[in-house]
Amino acid sequence: MEGNSFETVFNQVKRLAQDFESNKRYYLSSDYQEPEVRKDFIDKFLIALGWDVNHETQKNPFQQEVKVECHVTPGQSQRRADYAFYIAPNLRDARFLVEAKKPYGDLSSADNCL
C-alpha cells in the first residue's frame, strides 16, 4: 500500500463527495446499481487511501494486497467478498473485507442505517 499526503487524500475524497452530491438524485435512484458505485466511488476512494485496487504496481497475483470479488472462508462457509485486503508479509489471510452496496437513503436517520 502506497501512501499519499493527508491533503491529497482529503482533496480526492472531498471531490468524490462533491461528485456524489451534484448528482445525488440519480445515485439514490433504482437506476444506479452496485457495479457502478464500485467503479465511480468505492474504487476511487480506496485508491485515494493508497490501496492498489487495479494492480497498477502489484502485478504478481501472489503479492497483491487487494483482491476484488475474492473467495473467502469465514468460519466453515465459503463466500465472495467484494474486496478482500491483505497486509504484507501475510498475503494469505485476509485482514479485512469490504462489502459494496449501492447508495440508499440518508445516513443521518437511524431508520436508514439498518
Strand pairing category for 96-98 and 66-72: unpaired
Rounded distance between C-alpha atoms, residue 75 and residue 81, angstroms: 14
Whose cell is 494469505? That residue is 92
Tell me: the pLDDT tens digits for 11-25? 999 999 999 999 999
| Domain range list for the chain | 6-101
- Distance CA(4)–CA(83), nearest Å, equals 21
* Terminal-residue alpha carbon distance, the chain: 32
pLDDT digit string, tens, across residues 20-76: 999 999 999 999 999 999 999 999 999 999 999 999 999 999 999 999 988 877 666
Nine cell digits for residue 21? 452530491
User: Rounded to an integer, what distance in angstroms lies between the CA atom of residue 4 and that of residue 48?
Assistant: 7
